[in-house]
Structure 1
Amino acid sequence: MKDSPEISEICSENVLRIQVETCSSLYEKWKDEKSWFHNVPRKGISTEVEYIDTRPDAGNTLPVVLCLHGAPGSHQDFSLLRSRLISYPIRIICPNFPTYSLTKTKKFGHYAEEKAEYILDFLKALELTRVDMLIGHSSSIYPSVIILDSEYGSTLKSLVFLNPCGHRRIQAMKYPILDKTSAYFYQYKFFRFFIKHLGKPVLVITKCPVKLENMDNLFLSVTTVNHSHYKRLSEKLEKLKANKEIAKMLIFAENDKLIQKEIFYEMAKMLGIESDNIEVYDHNGLQQKSSMDSGYPKGIALQDGGHYAFLSHSKIVNNAIAEMVENVLLLANEHESR
């Protein structure tokens, strides 16, 4: 891992938990619209959310930075980022999305709408009235763009996407029929037993780029992308492009094994990030190309680093986000407090 000295700076943080009632109105809507969704509990679900909150006593007095991980993932993915930003007068909140265990016990389908509703109900449970910065990794881009259409969208000042999943099929999902069929049957205990024992050889033969150590995590990833409605993302990004009130930054690695680099560059253009405003860093983390404009929207292309480039090149990425906090969040908060 590059920039390893930064690891020693990880701050000590308490993991918090809160019980959240979620998806009730969404399931009511789906029950009426989708006849195949007959097994969904009409009253929604109750679940415990595990999260990190750097300043839980701050209420709504400080700018709120919301960090959303991919699938699989956890609040631990943002430990280095929190360490870099902890000195700023901001409140950083990093919740865990549900794991596949919630699918087994309560039929949570990991649809983009479900995950967005889950986060919105979590924010309301914390009595938050603002989200000033949203940082999303990988598949969290799908619930993120839905959250932007909520009441929190009006308080958002900056947005960061880290190696986001795409607006078209990513290379990790190159066998759509196999992906959808296996993910569907994996929901059921009887079929899950056979898939766990017989599925690995098939995945090896098909050269699955995802690690196979944990089949629940693998199918969490597959299910999340299958239920993302990724074809709707282009329209959402174009809408974001037109919103000049939100500062936008896209950070990605060109050698991501899950998502082809062409998708990242296409998404950058949809967000209004021209090629002249994309910084490029080589394999050693040395800048090869600077951006013409010092402001936003802005892109950062890392020639390596993989799907977790924000960890393997943590210093570059975290400094860029810290600069955004200083130039956007803190300045805006200063103006609002006058």
Structure 2
Amino acid sequence: MIEKYINETNESNLFTTPVTIKTKNNDIVKLDAIFQDTKPEGSNLGTVVNSHGAPGSHKDFKYINPKLEESGVRIVAVNFPGCGYTEYDERLQNDNYERIQFVQQIIDALNLSQKLIFIGHSRGSENSLKMAANNPEKSAGIISVNPIGIRPHRGTKPIFLFHLLAFLWRIQWLRFFSNWLMYQIYNKFARFKVNNGEICGVAMNLMAGLQYSDALPYIEKFNQSNAKAILLYAGKDWLIEPSVSREFRSCFKDNIEVISKHRGDDSETTENVVNELKNGRKTIGVFCQRDGHFLQKDRADLIAEAVLTILKNHSENSRQNA
């Protein structure tokens, strides 16, 4: 059952649907997932499914959405539990196993069956990859923005500290202090803008729950599909170094790197990416030399143009193969 969701600020295009998550501890967690859906009636062109980072929300993609909406693309953007919209449950382990269930049930509830592009930012990139790999018959492509790699990046080191802080936050009687501490870490040191410490604590647990190398079998599955991949990474990303991103890109079939020396969107880079897609390239890495960790803002036009090109090519190929 899908219902309209109205919050205190009366945001548009928000909906809710019940989901049931089974944790690795065999707990059954029932949640009301809150998500954005800009075109509930559906779109013949295709649908983008957005997965945000940690911390993050559906708002992370607000710079990309206008051009896609104007072109008739449907946008479905999830809000993971405890990140500001969907309620949190203390029994959650905050791992990839749960997140896959969460997004899959939203996709199934909406009956999304074809022409899907999964976009993920940072922590959400692993989810987008896995959703595309698990739904090859539905997927036209993925766009990974500042993606998590197959090994830890500098923003998650030292790893033991993340696990220690995540453990500290889970102690209920320390929650008042740990919420304050997490807020300081994320807002003052990690340079995020987060409303409260509770969201920061969940984000810390989501990062501690990362399993980097478990992406490899999903990449292999993705490589066997017809879906396209755009991987955008940045030279001034203070959390994820380019070497991690390039190693990640090297795992994908038929990959090439396009380098942009400009800050923000530039027509030459966008045109190069679009041409590579039109020529049948499966995987395109885009190294944005002068940009940082929020490429969904800095390269919004490139991402939107890539989405439109992938969907158009996918539709044409489907007609030819029919």
Pairing 1:218–2:200 present: yes
Paired position in structure 1 for 2:294: 308
Q: Which amino acid aligns with 1:157?
A: A
Alpha-carbon distance in 2 for matches of 1:212, 1:93: 23
TM-fit CA distance, 1:318: 2.5
- What is the match of residue 143 of structure 1? 127
User: Please, what TM-score do these two structures have when normalized by structure 1?
Assistant: 0.78
Which amino acid counterpart does residue 146 of structure 2 have in structure 1? N
- In the alignment, structure 1 segments of 5+ residues that lack a partner are 1-11, 31-36
Q: What is residue 22 of structure 1 aligned with on the other side?
A: 20
Confirm or deny: 8 A CA contact 1:63 1:333 kept in the other structure: no
Shift of 1:46: 2.5
Alignment of 1:289-308 (within 5 A): 290=272, 293=276, 294-296=279-281, 297-308=283-294
Could you list the per-position Cα deviations for residues 282-305 of structure 1 after superposition, in whole angstroms to 9, with x for gaps in the alignment? 236444895794432212111123
Give the partner amino acid of 1:189.
Q
Asked whether the equivalents of residues 74 and 96 of structure 1 are also in contact (C-alpha less than 8 Å), the reply is yes
**Greater share of helix:** 1
Greater CA drift, 130-139 or 318-327:
318-327
* C-alpha displacement of 1:104: 5.5
Work out which of the residue numbers 236, 255, 269 in structure 1 matches 2:250. 269
How many residues align? The count is 304
Letter in 2 for 1:176: I
Cα RMSD for the two superposed structures: 3.1
Read off the aligned partner of 1:295 and give its amino acid letter: G
CA distance in 2, matches of 1:309, 1:261: 13
Note closer, same or farther for the CA distance 1:185–1:88 as it changes in structure 2 (3 Å cut): same
Contact 1:250/1:268, CA 8 A, preserved across alignment: yes
Compute the TM-score of the two structures, normalised by the length of structure 2. 0.81
Alignment partner of 1:148: what SS? helix
Alpha-carbon distance in structure 1 between the residues aligned to 2:140 and 2:303: 19
SS of 1:306's equivalent? coil
1:280 paired with 2:260, answer yes
CA 1:306 to 1:118, structure 2 compared with 1: closer, same or farther past 3 Å? Answer: same
**Aligned equivalents of 1:75, 1:139: Cα separation in 2:** 13
Letter in 2 for 1:223: N
In the other structure, the counterpart of 1:234 is 216
Structure 1 239/129 Cα, relative in aligned 2: closer, same or farther at 3 Å? closer
1:260 Cα deviation after fit: 0.7
Give the partner amino acid of 2:201. F
8 A Cα contact 1:66 1:93, kept in partner: yes
Q: Percent identity?
A: 20
Deviations 1:312-336 (A, max 9, x none): 23223333333333333x4245557
The CA distance in 1 between the partners of 2:225 and 2:47, in whole Å, is 20
Is the contact made by 1:69 and 1:140 (CA closer than 8 Å) also made in structure 2? yes
Is 1:129 the equivalent of 2:110?
Answer: no
